[in-house]
Structure 1
């Protein structure tokens, strides 16, 4: 199992725009083979911080996700709305 934590801090006023874009990304991604969970969270203390927490059956499923039409179209647009981002990919140990 693979867990992904993708955190971004958004430009002033752009988090809402990003959330609108994420709606389609989340909807389409949840239909993909190998997707266990795919959810967007907002920091309770800083509304400019959004974090996607994902769970995948395998690295292969995650790799396939990153090649989908919706991912390759939407993520570059979202990236332009961020000040910075951090991506961590974890594998299950225990």
Structure 2
């Protein structure tokens, strides 16, 4: 299993647009083969910080997901609404 944490600092003027696109991405991604979990969270202290938490069966599932036109379109918009995005891919230790 691979855990992806993607943390975005969203431009204040783009927050509602970001949320709309993020929710569409989450809903669509949850139905993809190999997706175990796909959620987005809003920081309780700073609403412009949004965190995606994704769990995938394997690297092949991630590559298939990232190769879809839907993902490419949504991630392009999310990037344009953000000041910065940090992404980490993590493997379970035990």
Give the TM-score normalised by structure 1.
Answer: 0.96
**Do residues 77 (structure 1) and 60 (structure 2) align?**
no
1:89 alignment partner in structure 2 = 89
For structure 1, the 5+ residue unaligned runs are: none
SS at match of 1:13: helix
Which stretches of structure 1, 4 residues or longer, exceed 6 Å deviation after superposition?
A: none
How far apart, CA to CA, are the structure 1 residues paired with 2:62 and 2:8?
19
- Larger helix share, 1 or 2: 2
Equivalent position of 1:64 in the other structure: 64
Q: Which runs of 5+ in 2 are unaligned?
A: none
**Count of residues in correspondence between the two structures:** 94
**1:85 CA drift (Å):** 1.0
